Structure 1
Amino acid sequence: MAHYEANGVRLHVQELGEGSPVVVCIHGLGMDTLASFYFTLAAPLSEAGARVITYDLRGHGRSDKPPTGYRFRDTVDDLLALLDAMDIDEPVHLVGNSYGGCIAFGVAAAQPSRVASITLVESMPAFGENWSAGIAYLFTGEIDGDHEDVEKHRRAVREEILSQSNVPDGARVDHMMKLSGQTLRRTGIATELPWSAPNTEDEIRGVSCPVLGIFGSRSWMVPLAPVLRDVQPHARIEVIEGLGHFILAEATKDVVGLVKEWVFEPSYA
């Protein structure tokens, strides 16, 4: 375990392996931390010879939790600064779960020479009004408003989360939503991120490294897969049948197999 100063915050980092390639895993928002990768992909990839870096996003886990600094570009700049702080100058393979994939594309758009490949695990690039609206919808329950409307929204989000799991556990979802709410309320994520500028479509189209997208067939992300194919025509898309959004946890073996093959030999579809 280590902490690195990056872009004005201390980021908590866990690292496994010392080989090559370098794989950086980027987790999602709110209820997620580096643990989702540390207990799934990190060990198998490092055992295969890779150097695997996982880190807590600002506002999450054991990283700093400043009250502000949660625009989309802030999270991109955090990762770029972290690579500098760790003296990593070779192109890295970025594996992003949910919002983590947005950061991966943001880094590739900002500094393409630093990215060898991108793997999206239930994720899409951050561009367009639909992306901003989707982020705003998720956070509506954590923004001040009419109490009845907020509670109604939280119940709707809870049901959507449950519907995305093959082993729905209401008590666990309630606990995770409570933790997520605490994260959102003590930081500026809910008020800054939805209204910050994501990437432009041209920036996403300009990303030239190999891209792999992994989705669950029942996921709310599946209808967006054609959008990914449109902006990244050479992306490879893999769909895991029968699963929803939580494929990293519920189909770990399948995801590990796909990512392990990919980072050692990424290619264009």
Structure 2
Amino acid sequence: MTYITTKDGAQIFYKDWGPKDAQPIVFHHGWPLSADDWDNQMLFFLGEGYRVVAHDRRGHGRSNQTSDGNEMDTYASDVADLTAKLDLRDAIHIGHSTGGGEVARYVARSEPGRVAKAVLIDAVPPVMVRKESNPGGTPIEVFDGFRAALAANRAQLYLDIPTGPFYGFNRPGAKVSEGLIRNWWRQGMMGSAKAGYECIKAFSETDFTEDLKAIDVPVLVIHSEDDQIVPYADSAPLTVELLKHGTLKTYKDLPHGLCQTHPEIVNADILAFVRGEQAGADPEVLTITPVMA
């Protein structure tokens, strides 16, 4: 297996497929998962001729279960170490959920020439938790509940989330995939309980407002109005308003885990953006209502 060593000595696992001279696409996973959550997208974009890279965030998957560093500044620093080690330039960084926050912080601080574009998918920016400056946010009690459930019985929590709201399997008429549920559980249980616990604060309380303002590259913001994990109204529309070159693509009734349930829709939209068909020099809002099978 392939690893890089970060500045503080952590071992970060990564996958690196495809021609080394091809444009790289770097994938950033959500909580509490791993690089494996991007299997479909990595195979798809590999087939389109790109170099595809994905890592397990520290404390997640096959990376070190470090005691420290389970917060956004260190996550972004780890990505910087990875991109430097692999010498990734002109890359497209794609982040889902917590990974979208990681992308925002890394891209805002990245070295010139490292990043060409970014994609935020059902992502946590600008900030999730309700506070005076974010009155539409999610109450802190919700995240306290996640922490309590994780500490009490992590294995059960990691079944309840994918069985219910993550993939929208709690919606009437939903086509449930037992494989997706089991794979979510497998990935979550590979990681550290401590990292999973502390990452809840990282994804819910980190404010990415200044990061979004600082990003100079085109950003595609993808979000579904039926996202039950990261509420749409307090995320994507606010994010795109803060970006200099943002495009908002709204789906009507896809779940939070849309990359796995509807890859044929998401992959095509990302590919169009990556190829420059929807890069957009100025902010643009596009509302897409897919035909559901």
Band the TM-score falls in, shorter-chain normalisation: 0.7 to 0.9
Aligned residue number for residue 106 of structure 1: 105
Larger proportion of helix: 1
The answer to whether the 8 A contact 1:33-1:60 is kept is yes
Q: AA paired with 1:160?
A: P
2:150 to 139, 142, 146: 142
Aligned residue number for residue 10 of structure 2: 9
The CA distance in 2 between the partners of 1:119 and 1:160, in whole Å, is 23
Q: Call closer, same or farther: CA 1:75–1:256 in 2, change over 3 Å.
A: same
**What is the aligned-residue RMSD (CA, Å)?**
3.2
Gaps of at least 5 residues in structure 1 are none
Gaps of at least 5 residues in structure 2 are 131-136, 285-293
1:222 to 227, 232, 235: 232
Aligned residue number for residue 48 of structure 2: 48
Residues 1:194 and 2:205 aligned together = no
Q: 1:39-188, aligned counterparts within 5 Å? A: 39-88=39-88, 90-111=89-110, 113=112, 114-127=114-127, 129-130=129-130, 133=140, 138-143=146-151, 159-161=164-166, 163=168, 166-168=174-176, 173=181, 176=184, 180=188, 183-185=191-193, 187-188=194-195
The answer to whether the 8 A contact 1:121-1:214 is kept is yes
The answer to whether the 8 A contact 2:61-2:188 is kept is no
The answer to whether the 8 A contact 1:72-1:193 is kept is no
The answer to whether the 8 A contact 2:23-2:51 is kept is yes
The SS at the match of 2:191 is helix
Q: AA paired with 1:222?
A: Y
Q: Call closer, same or farther: CA 1:184–1:63 in 2, change over 3 Å.
A: closer
Residues 1:263 and 2:268 aligned together = no
Between Structure 1 and Structure 2, how many residues are aligned? Answer: 259
Q: Call closer, same or farther: CA 1:85–1:253 in 2, change over 3 Å.
A: same
Q: Call closer, same or farther: CA 1:233–1:164 in 2, change over 3 Å.
A: farther
Q: Deviations over 1:68-115 (max 9, x none)?
A: 321121111110011112223x23210011111110000012226232
Aligned residue number for residue 260 of structure 2: 249
Identity of aligned residues (%): 16
Q: AA paired with 2:149?
A: G
TM normalised by structure 2 equals 0.75
The answer to whether the 8 A contact 1:17-1:46 is kept is yes
Q: Call closer, same or farther: CA 1:257–1:110 in 2, change over 3 Å.
A: same
The SS at the match of 2:165 is helix
The answer to whether the 8 A contact 2:118-2:217 is kept is yes
TM normalised by structure 1 equals 0.81
Aligned residue number for residue 211 of structure 1: 219
The answer to whether the 8 A contact 1:73-1:198 is kept is no
The CA distance in 2 between the partners of 1:94 and 1:229, in whole Å, is 16
Q: How far is 1:257 from its partner?
A: 0.7
The SS at the match of 1:95 is strand
The CA distance in 2 between the partners of 1:107 and 1:143, in whole Å, is 29
Q: Call closer, same or farther: CA 1:251–1:199 in 2, change over 3 Å.
A: same
The SS at the match of 2:46 is helix
Q: How far is 1:247 from its partner?
A: 0.6
